[in-house]
Amino acid sequence: MPRTIRKIWAVLTSLTLVAGGCAPRQPFYFFEDGDLSHYVGAIQKLEYPDTTQEPLAEAAGAVEPLTLSHADFDSFWDLSLEEAIRTALENGKILRNLGGRFASFGGPRPQTGEPPVSLLTAPGLTPSIYDPAITETDPFRGVESALALFDAQVSSSLTWDRQNRPQNFNAAGGTIFPQQLLGDTGNWTSGIQKRTATGATWGFANSTIYDNNNSPIREVPSTWTTNYDFTFNQPLLQGAGVTYNRIAGPDFFDNLYGRPNFRGVLLARINADISLAEFEAGVRNLVSDTEQSYWELAFAYRNLEARKAGRDSSLEAWRKVHALYVEQSRGGEADKEAQAREQYFFFRAEVEAALTDVYRCENRLRYMMGISASDGRLIRPSDEPTTARISFDWQQALVEALSRSAELRKQKWFIKQKELELVAAKNLVLPRLDLVGRWRFLGMGQDLINQNYNPYNADNIDPLAGTDAYSTMLSGKFQEWQAGAQFLMPLGFRRELATVRNHQLQLARERARLQDEELEVSHALVEAVRNVDTNFALTQTNFNRRVAADRQVEAVQAAYDAGTVTLDQLLEAQRRRAEAESAYHRALVDYNRSISQLHYRKGSLLEYNGVFLAEGPWPGKAYFDAHRRARQRDASIYLDYSASRPGVFSRGAITQNFESVGADARAMQLPPRDPATREPTPAVPPATPELLPAPARNPAGS
């Protein structure tokens, strides 16, 4: 029977194991309600920040964009180039750019096939109007931070101690030292410390101590002690001098690694100047890309008009051939009808592509202007591209390019920064020799201060009875002083000499970079001058080509009507006329773009567009304080700091308005204008005046 029970138990256990499996099981809990809202099933989640930043109205309020299938808009917006640049600057908190697609650095033509997303891909690389102020107020490398190292520092501390401890003294010694020490001690220290531009540290401190205990050897149970210290520390070799301290700053060693960390006032000022140069370059690029976008939109309209003219002429030819094809007349053969139909659809596709380019270019101009992508209006440039030949004096342009380039000025600031750092690094090779001193006035009394002048008097039987600490100190009987020198010199100066060599190499590298940048500027200026001359010549040539192509269409059309030429010759002439029209306007727009790029290269683009950089007005209190300080200097005695004053490291404000810019430029008309029509005429005057086509007025109506 027991064996049978064991068999049954083994079978039940096996069935239980098979049914339960080997998987772990959750324990059973009483009072479990099933609320697992606090359960976290993942370490990280994609979450949205809790911010109150409302979306930009221009972005959130954009209407449906213009496309081929949705070409309805309310009105045209005739926009001048000046208004476009002004709007871009007004909305330019972030100095937008087209991400290199408009080739601000001298590319032949912009690319318009992709949207501008440079800000989304690299937001930290896009300059803004806040960058100079952010650099100025940097808590570690800013000007105010560097000046703060020379500010006076006030320190104060107050502590109170209670003593209650047993002591190891026998009964005989208890008459001198108590077996249980009871007392109170208070310590209040305060002071002010100031660093000077010469590297010296001056200090003035006070220490007041209250001491009360049950020691039987004390004359009175409680006493007050106060002292005033005047201290100074003046470096004589390493760390001495106005020049060094304004370059390196007082705390020039990194607290973590002990390496030189120059962050003086002069270097902070240079960082601010570098940020201003970067800001100027950002504004210049914004203006350049805006102007490039404007002229590209102007070409898109002209190109659309040319394609529409080709489409209309091909449609007219197709209708004539189709009529002959229906009547089964001569000239209406099936192959000719198909050829004319193919020509029409070819130009129709060209018109559709050109209209899409108008929408794209208009959208890019809107982006550069910082306005909504679509608002029911279609921007149409109102300024005509110039046809006048502009000539620049090469030597003057080269001098301007080398002196006005924001990139070269930025690199020169880097060089000046490395020069100053090298001066500071050479100071570290000197040994450390400091003069130190201290003068102290002391006082002790039963009270800290009272109404009666009762200083400590050692000749009295009870010298502390009824005295106060300040009366004792003011009596001048207790004075201490200390004077000395501290010397520190590493044997070999290994790290210091390596620091000097490192800064020498950095300076050599920055100077080499400047030379190559100047070489690059000269090459880019050569390319810009060449583009101006080439595009002017192409404008002349394509204008004559356009006139010739137009006359060819007229002649071939007449010959075709007379039956002396075939249809394919007429269609080919119409196609060449459309291409010549587009090529002329392409060359004309490229000529205006190349003029802008030449000003870009020689550093006068902002002046060319009437843009000047200036600091905004200060608050009224700042003008009041500045005037007060100016009056203080006027009433002061002048002291010559030539012995310790650092050398000049800035030549002053840059010149934004060159009187001679454009003075030597001579305007030669391109091509010669007819005084009656004010329109260009070909190199060989035709029998009748040739007029330029009017700009597209309703491209969506094609």
Reference 456, options 447, 184, 216, 440; nearest CA is 447
Q: Are 400 and 603 in contact (CB under 8 A)?
A: yes
- Which has the closest alpha carbon to 682: 621, 674, 443, 10? 674
Distance (Å, whole) CA 305 – CA 702: 10
Contact 285, 125 (CB under 8 A): no
Please report the beta strands in 71-221, taking only residues with DSSP state E, as ranges in sequence order.
75-79, 153-166, 180-195, 201-213
**What is the enclosing helix (H) or strand (E) of 87?**
helix 81-90
Domain edges within the chain: 63-149+256-431+489-611+658-702, 175-248+437-473
Rg of the chain (C-alpha set): 43
| The residue type at 577 | R
Contact status, residue 87 vs residue 371, Cβ threshold 8 Å: yes
- Residue 699's CB is within 10 A of a number of other CB atoms, namely 25
Q: Please give the pLDDT value at position 646.
A: 53
Token code pair at residue 492: 């070999």
Helix (H) or strand (E) holding 64: none
Other Cβ atoms within 10 Å of 377 Cβ, number: 17
Which CATH number describes the domain made up of 63-149+256-431+489-611+658-702? 1.20.1600.10
Helix or strand holding residue 113 (H, E): none
Q: Which residues of the chain have pLDDT under 70?
A: 1-23, 100-115, 171-175, 251-260, 638-649, 651-652, 655-702
> How far apart are the C-alpha atoms of 196 and 538, rounded to whole Å?
67
Note the pLDDT of residue 484.
95
CB atoms within 10 A of CB 467: 26
Say if CB 127 and CB 280 are below 8 A apart: no
Give CA–CA dist 166/144, Å, rounded: 55
Which among 387, 369, 385, 386 is positioned nearest to 300, based on CA atoms? Answer: 385
- Closest by CA to 204, choosing from 227, 220, 175, is 227
Per-residue pLDDT, 104: 44
In this predicted model, what pLDDT tens digit does every residue of 89-124 receive, in sequence order?
999 898 988 875 444 444 445 555 566 777 887 888
Q: What is the pLDDT of residue 584?
A: 95
* Residue 576 neighbours by CB distance under 10 Å: 19
**Buried/exposed code over 503-541 (b: 16+ C-beta within 10 A; e: otherwise):** beebbeebbeebeebbeebeebbebbbebbeebbebbbe
Tell me: the pLDDT tens digits for 140-191? 888 888 888 889 999 999 999 998 888 887 766 656 777 778 889 999 999 9
pTM of the model: 0.79
Q: Are 657 and 609 in contact (CB under 8 A)?
A: no
Which of 170, 577, 328, 436 shows the shortest CA–CA distance to 336? 328
Measured CA to CA, the distance from residue 366 to residue 359 in angstroms comes to 10
